[in-house]
Amino acid sequence: MVNIEDYIPLVGQSVIDDLRLLGERLKGKVIQHINSTPMGGGVAEILNRMVPLLKDLGVDTKWDVIKGGESFFDVTKKFHNVLHGRSGEVTKNDFDIFLETSEENIKNLDTYGDIVFIHDPQPIALVKKRSNNKWLWRCHIDVSNPNEKVWDFLLDFIIKYDSAVFSAPSFSRKLPIRQFLIPPSIDPLSDKNKELPQEMIDSVLRKNNIKKDKPIITQISRFDRLKDPVGVVEAYKQVKRYINCQLILAGGTAEDDPEGFKVLSEVKESANNDPDIHILLLPHDDIAVNALQRASDVVVQKSLKEGFGLTVAEALWKAKPVVASNVGGIPLQIKHKYSGLLCHSVEGASFAIKQLLTSPEYAKKLGENGREHIRNNFLITRHLRDYMLLFLSLYHAEDIVYL
Ligand code: UDP
């Protein structure tokens, strides 16, 4: 059971009092979140915690998931990649498949919310159903350099919404509707982030045949090319020439991500049976992710593109020194040389990892700064406040609202 009062020791009483006040103002409104997967990936991760907390604050909140077959999720994955700026051909057939499944969902999914809160492109077309309720489109993707064909296609839907929400200023686009900037967050009390006893961390390591006899470098991510797991293996190999260390690459695959198994086999090939590379498939095990992050000496997130990068916030909250690419929402979380190290290449990543492994005091300081930065900016309590202000603002369309 989630209880908002449990957050008082972490963020203070006044933050929780403010949330209660905002919750009261939203009494009588139904907020309906809709996305494309109940688990796997950052959006589901956030909704799993956000929905019960909003309910605890007295806000009537529901969460529905659209349905789609393999071909639909192949197309939406392609959309996701090219919106992130990756090359790829999107055909008329792809758009037809997208529209066909969208029509099915339009027919079968009841959009009963006073506020319908649509996450990402997959359910975007549901807005065709809008009546006199309010509609929000929440874009979790970095669309600063999107494939124009796909963006234009989505734009026809986006303009039907009341407002759009982006994670970082650089992601927003010129739009004829109001835009809000709201970065995501992590929940410090979830299984993924709560404190763990050392025995539990050790038992997760034992279960995965990992010994603590050499420093542990870890990247937790879906097996997705944009997370560059092969680049992480290369960086590790460069570090290994100087420092005897081990690498954990852990990730499951999300239900709406059909590419995972292919990428996993590429990673295995590049690992070439090195016994110090542990490739772990984690079928939705938050305690295991938590334990692996806590057991790490350095956490890496070498993404080529990133929405926000929740894994970075998760590691920083655990006061871990983090090496991560300077992409997407990562620089919001890491101020270079203050709350972690930013990198731009395999060489840059390996240089930074070496530096952290050989300077434990420096690494510790970065981790501590990182934890405070997350406490002040990226915990779910801040996110709840921003979302509730956003909901209220929909009923005050003429006012200018600063979040
Ligand atoms: N995650 C997980 N198990 C895995 C891989 C990832 O629980 O095997 C979690 C990870 O801890 C984080 C989320 O999934 O909470 C991924 O969010 P992020 O923003 O890092 O990336 P996304 O997958 O949304 O691109």
Domains of the chain: 4-185+379-393 (3.40.50.2000), 198-377 (3.40.50.2000)
- Tell how far the Cα of 238 is from the centroid of ligand 1, in angstroms: 26
| C-alpha–C-alpha distance, residues 169 and 251, integer Å | 29
pTM over 0.75: yes
Query: With 60 as the cut, is the pLDDT of residue 353 above it?
Result: yes
Among residues 34, 124, 111, 134, the alpha carbon closest in space to that of 83 is found at 124
In this prediction, residue 42 has a pLDDT band, given cuts at 50, 70 and 90, of confident
Question: How much is the pLDDT for 397?
Answer: 64
Atom of ligand 1 nearest to the CA of 140: 24
Q: Which residue, among 313, 333, 375, has the nearest Cα to 12 in the 3D structure?
A: 375
- Check residue 319 and give left, alpha or beta (phi > 0: left; psi -120 to 50: alpha): left
Q: Report whether residue 183 contacts ligand 1, using a CB cutoff of 6 Å.
A: no
Determine which residue's CA is closest to atom 17 belonging to ligand 1: 42
Q: For residue 379, what is the DSSP state?
A: B
- State whether the beta carbon of 330 lies less than 6 angstroms from ligand 1: no
User: For the purposes of burial, counting CB atoms within 10 Å of the CB of 160, is it exposed (0-12), middle (13-18) or buried (19 or more)?
Assistant: middle
Tokens of 221: 């991510």
The overall average pLDDT reported for the chain is 94
**Per-residue confidence (pLDDT) for residue 53, from 0 to 100:** 96
| Ligand 1 contacts CB of residue 259 (under 6 A) | no
Whole-number Å distance, alpha carbon 283 to ligand 1 midpoint, is: 12
Provide the pLDDT for residue 11: 95
The C-alpha atoms of residue 195 and residue 105 are separated, in whole angstroms, by 40
> With contact defined as beta carbons under 8 Å apart, do 57 and 19 qualify?
yes
For ligand 1, atom 4, name the residue with the nearest CA.
251
